[in-house]
Amino acid sequence: MESNDQNSEIPSGTTKKAIDRFKNLQQKEIHIQSIFDGIISKKPAALSKGITLIESTQEEHTIKAQQLIEKCLPYANDSIRIGITGVPGVGKSTFIEALGNLLIQEGKKVAVLAIDPSSTISGGSILGDKTRMEVLVRSPKAYIRPSPSGNSLGGVAQKTRESIILCEAAGYDVIIIETVGVGQSETAVHGMVDFFLLLKLAGAGDELQGIKRGIIEMADAIVINKADGDNKNRAQEAKNQFRKALHMYPTPQSNWSPEVLSCSALQEEGITTIWDMIQKYHQLTTTNGFFNSNRATQNKFWLLQTIDNQLKNSFYNNPTIKKILSQQIEAIQQHKITPFAAANYLLKLSKTHNSS
């Protein structure tokens, strides 16, 4: 019955190759539907397939991925998205393991996604080794996905953002986005989460040294990790310093005053207090409307960011531009043309090339 319907859509006289392509396309359509069905019936394997589709750079897959995301959108949104950042070694994976296990004990489902700027620069990865979060990784209520690879942070971040939608549709209530505290990735993560947590270590001297002002401004909480053993007093000192420092910043739009806490991720101490704090934030911001307005602002940001990325990609991947760009660079070096004139020329060229 179904195959009759399919064949009836193929015009008579169509070549065998075209029929195969058509059937193939139809199979892919069914494929998307089955991934979608799997996702909303909370099957991790289907979620992984969906995320792989999102991460693919093939144009055909990108189109399919968008269809899948659109299908999932009505089922998404019902979650809390938490961003966690900190330098390598601060204890991010130990902390996420402890927090994740607590959440699972409370009956929640947790998804952990990562944005690793090192994977975009060197092809290697600071976050990506397999031994991380050993307990969580085995729990059927947790889903852990390593960082996607890619050649630009913007592109990788976009894929993670889209993957969040799929995770939410698959019924994960808490989505944790982890990133290394280097480069620009914190800003990208901050732009896709509801709550942004900065993990720190107690140092020997001035706690605020070497910490970027912008990151403190983004943080909804600063948590001093490894507050155990001999480190307890130093953690307390660090806490005091950060509290003083935070006083100097104006109250953020959320009306939430960022908190400074300490914990021992390894000994699972202080984790409940941190989760209580996140819930307090959630309650405050849903009541005062910031939670939704912030997500709307983030959506607008991602719309503009995606346009930005795609315009850049289509410009630099345009074969004519690829060829002429190197000629223009040479002409600039030989002082035959200014960079501005060359830029204008290339932009005009890309427009005529795209419209033809």
Residue 111 φ/ψ, nearest 5 degrees? -115, 135
Residues 207-266 that bind ligand GDP (CB under 6 A): 225-226, 228, 264-266
Residue 142 φ/ψ, nearest 5 degrees? -120, 145
Q: How many residues bind ligand GDP (CB under 6 A)?
A: 14
Residue 269 C-beta: closest distance to ligand GDP, Å:
8
Closest CB to ligand GDP among residues 56, 267? 267
Residue 104 C-beta: closest distance to ligand GDP, Å:
18
Task: Tell me 211's DSSP state.
Answer: -
Closest CB to ligand GDP among residues 127, 169? 127
Task: Tell me 347's DSSP state.
Answer: H
Residues 63-122 that bind ligand GDP (CB under 6 A): 86, 88-94
Residue 126 C-beta: closest distance to ligand GDP, Å:
7
Residue 158 binds to ligand GDP (criterion: CB under 6 A)? no
- Tell me the per-residue interface mask from 27 to 66 with ligand GDP, x by CB under 6 A, - otherwise: ----------------------------------------
Closest CB to ligand GDP among residues 49, 226? 226
Q: What CA–CA distance (Å, rounded) separates 224 from 87?
A: 12
Closest CB to ligand GDP among residues 179, 254? 179
- Give the tokens for residue 179: 């990133």
- Integer-rounded Cα Rg, in Å, for the chain is 24
- Tell me the per-residue interface mask from 298 to 337 with ligand GDP, x by CB under 6 A, - otherwise: ----------------------------------------
Q: What CA–CA distance (Å, rounded) separates 213 from 342?
A: 37
Contact 201, 224 (CB under 8 A): yes
Q: What CA–CA distance (Å, rounded) separates 196 from 281?
A: 11
Closest CB to ligand GDP among residues 40, 102? 102
Residue 134 C-beta: closest distance to ligand GDP, Å:
11
Q: Which residues pair with 201 in a beta bridge?
A: 225
Residue 207: strand, helix, or coil: coil
Closest CB to ligand GDP among residues 46, 211? 211
Q: What CA–CA distance (Å, rounded) separates 271 from 268?
A: 6
Closest CB to ligand GDP among residues 9, 129? 129
* Neighbour tally for 28: CB within 10 Å: 15
Residue 16: strand, helix, or coil: helix
Contact 227, 270 (CB under 8 A): yes
Pairing of strands 221-225, 259-262: parallel
Closest CB to ligand GDP among residues 39, 219? 219
Q: Which amino acid makes up residue 298?
A: Q
Residue 89 C-beta: closest distance to ligand GDP, Å:
5
Residue 80 C-beta: closest distance to ligand GDP, Å:
21
Closest CB to ligand GDP among residues 225, 254? 225
CA distances to 8, 85, 136, 246 from 132, rounded to whole Å, are 53, 16, 9, 32
Query: Residues near 106 by Cβ (< 8 Å), separated by ≥ 6?
Result: none
Residue 252 C-beta: closest distance to ligand GDP, Å:
25
Residue 232 C-beta: closest distance to ligand GDP, Å:
11
Residue 276 C-beta: closest distance to ligand GDP, Å:
18
Q: Which residue is nearest to ligand GDP (CB)?
A: 91
Q: Which residues pair with 264 in a beta bridge?
A: 269
Residues of this chain that bind ligand GDP (CB under 6 A): 86, 88-94, 225-226, 228, 264-266
